[in-house]
């Protein structure tokens, strides 16, 4: 099996399918993680009740967000003038730019999802659409991008770890199994994706906690400005201790590790299938 690079169309279709699959499959675990991280506490945020609350926004945002990421990532990985021996740098840059592109699409749906998961609006919004309308009325367009900066701050370190590790694990595994660089089977790539995702998720949990807290902030006219991310971390540590910075670490690592297997395994399987049908 020789290594081939997916075309733009293959990346678009495979990325959209992979993103939707993993988000729907592991949504309950994400809900538990988000409620553990909320300031109001797990039980008040909903506990184990209504774990699919807010899933409508994910259905809207998953496919285009993941498609945008992979189209950007694969295109830059092919075209950046970076020597082969600096491949990890190529993967870091490509993944980081891909995440920024995806966040432009994903953050608005992430805000709605997070607030729906934790019942932030209570009886005022009983669906993702109702939450979106209420958010627009109370905070305008800016509200949909609440936490955009901290989301990018979370995603860049995450992808800068995940994708270089993923490419490294694939390279090492292909040499181990086939004694040469080769395209792995989807299940083999899934194992690499699981390991890379789990490591990256565990190490970036504090940034994920911070992102959740920022997105759950409601607009307060008496406090037009919000503290910086660094100030928030200090306040969180002072008020709740180190444990709060790693709240939800176990479900986050579990779902991203399992999700990484599904996400990247599905992506590799779909690109392989599309390539074979176009051949």
Q: Is residue 3 part of a domain?
A: no
Question: What is the domain-level CATH number for residue 147?
Answer: 1.50.40.10
Q: How many domains does the chain have?
A: 1
DSSP string, 124-173: G--SHHHHHHHHHHHHHHHHHTTTHHHHHHHHHHHHHHHHHHHHHHHHHH
Terminal C-alpha separation, the chain: 14
**How far apart are alpha carbons 78 and 226 in whole angstroms?**
40
Neighbour count for residue 2 (Cβ, 10 Å): 7
Q: Is residue 30 part of a domain?
A: yes
pLDDT along the chain (279 residues), means of 10: 72 92 90 88 88 89 93 93 91 94 94 88 84 92 90 90 93 87 84 95 92 75 65 87 89 90 91 83
Q: Is residue 2 part of a domain?
A: no
What is the phi/psi pair of residue 201, to 5°?
A: -65, -45
Which range marks the domain in which residue 19 is found? Answer: 8-278
What pTM, to 2 d.p., does this model score? Answer: 0.79
Name the token pair of 69: 């990421």
Residue 270's pLDDT is 92
């Amino acid at each position: 099996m020789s290594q081939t690079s997916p075309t733009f169309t293959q990346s678009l279709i495979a990325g959209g399918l992979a993103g939707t699959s993993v988000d729907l499959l592991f949504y309950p675990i994400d809900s538990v993680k988000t409620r553990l991280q909320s300031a109001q506490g797990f039980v008040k945020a909903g506990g184990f009740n209504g774990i699919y609350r807010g899933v409508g926004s994910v259905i809207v945002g998953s496919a285009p967000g993941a498609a945008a990421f992979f189209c950007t990532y694969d295109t830059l990985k092919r075209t950046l003038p970076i020597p082969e021996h600096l491949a990890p740098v190529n993967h870091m840059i490509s993944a980081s730019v891909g995440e920024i592109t995806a966040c432009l699409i994903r953050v608005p749906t992430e805000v709605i999802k997070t607030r729906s998961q934790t019942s932030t609006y209570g009886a005022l919004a009983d669906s993702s659409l109702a939450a979106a309308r209420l958010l627009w009325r109370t905070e305008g367009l800016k509200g949909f991008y609440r936490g955009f900066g901290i989301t990018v701050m979370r995603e860049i370190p995450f992808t800068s770890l995940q994708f270089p590790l993923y490419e490294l694990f694939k390279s090492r595994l292909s040499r181990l199994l086939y004694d040469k660089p080769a395209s792995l089977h989807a299940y083999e790539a899934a194992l690499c994706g699981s390991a890379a995702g789990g490591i990256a998720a565990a190490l970036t949990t504090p940034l994920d906690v911070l992102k959740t807290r920022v997105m759950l902030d409601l607009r307060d006219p008496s406090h037009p400005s919000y503290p910086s991310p660094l100030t928030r971390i200090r306040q969180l540590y002072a008020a709740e201790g180190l444990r709060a910075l790693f709240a939800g670490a176990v479900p986050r690592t579990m779902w991203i590790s399992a999700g990484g297997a599904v996400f990247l395994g599905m992506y590799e399987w779909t690109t392989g299938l599309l390539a074979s049908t176009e051949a």
